[in-house]
Amino acid sequence: MNLYTRTGDEGKTSVIGGRLDKDHIRVEAYGTIDELNSFVGVAITQLDKEVFGDIIHELEKIQHELFDCGGDLAMVSTEYPYKTKKEMITFLEERIDEYIVEAPKLEKFILPGGSMAGATIHVCRTVTRRSERLVVQLQKVAETNLVVLKYLNRLSDYFFAIARVINYRYGIKDVEYERSALVFRDGKRKEEK
């Protein structure tokens, strides 16, 4: 088996149900999810298995779900069933609720950082937000699985929650943004009341 096919040498790539230019918004969207998946893999390698077994297990599950999201976005044909499901979002919400309780109370915005793994998870969070923006652009011009956008939105919240828990378990305090007003109450944004 050859790793290279030469079929993309002219700037086009295969998607499910056709071929597109490599700079098409659809390719950009699922390609960014692939980038995110790679950063999640980096984060997993930075976590101690004894202390973070629960989070590692969840991140590995999320890596599979990110493949599902990418596959759904790579479809230009609607003859195949979507893989990204609402149950995936429910799972993230349940985990976020647990992690909010574990981490110290949050009142102000914080700076990304802390431990190496915590900082990498913040990178995952921001790449997730970029993926979200690209999926919004794609949805304006093509049919997609609407659950993918909701999943990515919740996933960025999950990454924020676990970045804080990772630093907390390492004994590293969050660094508050110096000029932040009080924007959180009981672990939630004030405007969510």
- Kindly state whether residue 8 falls inside one of the protein's structural domains: no
The residue among 69, 67, 97 whose CA lies nearest residue 82 is 69
The residue among 67, 54, 53, 72 whose CA lies nearest residue 148 is 72
The confidence score (pLDDT) of residue 56 equals 98
- Residue 8's pLDDT band (cuts 50, 70, 90): low
Q: For 70-89, what is each residue's pLDDT tens digit?
A: 999 998 877 789 999 999 99
- Kindly state whether residue 27 falls inside one of the protein's structural domains: yes
Q: For 42-77, what is each residue's pLDDT tens digit?
A: 999 999 999 999 999 999 999 999 999 999 999 887
| Integer Cα distance of 99 and 154 in angstroms | 14
What does pTM read for this prediction?
0.89
- Kindly state whether residue 139 falls inside one of the protein's structural domains: yes
Q: Is the pLDDT of residue 17 over 60?
A: no
Please say whether the beta carbons of 76 and 26 come within 8 A.
yes
Domain membership of residue 138 as a residue range: 15-192
Interhelix angle 49-73/25-45, rounded to 10 degrees, is 170
Please say whether the beta carbons of 98 and 179 come within 8 A.
no
Instruction: Give me 25's structure tokens.
Output: 């918004």
Residue that wins the pLDDT comparison between 77 and 109:
109
Q: For 131-189, what is each residue's pLDDT tens digit?
A: 999 999 999 999 999 999 999 999 999 999 999 999 999 999 999 899 989 987 665 66
Q: Is the pLDDT of residue 193 over 50?
A: no
The confidence score (pLDDT) of residue 141 equals 94
Please say whether the beta carbons of 128 and 37 come within 8 A.
no
- Kindly state whether residue 7 falls inside one of the protein's structural domains: no
- Kindly state whether residue 60 falls inside one of the protein's structural domains: yes
Q: For 110-143, what is each residue's pLDDT tens digit?
A: 999 999 999 999 999 999 999 999 999 999 999 9
CATH of the domain at 159: 1.20.1200.10
Residue that wins the pLDDT comparison between 92 and 175:
92
- Residue 102's pLDDT band (cuts 50, 70, 90): very high
- Kindly state whether residue 4 falls inside one of the protein's structural domains: no
Structurally, the chain folds into a number of domains equal to 1
The confidence score (pLDDT) of residue 58 equals 98
- Residue 24's pLDDT band (cuts 50, 70, 90): confident
How many C-beta neighbours within 10 Å does residue 161 have? Answer: 24
- Kindly state whether residue 10 falls inside one of the protein's structural domains: no
The confidence score (pLDDT) of residue 153 equals 98
- Kindly state whether residue 25 falls inside one of the protein's structural domains: yes
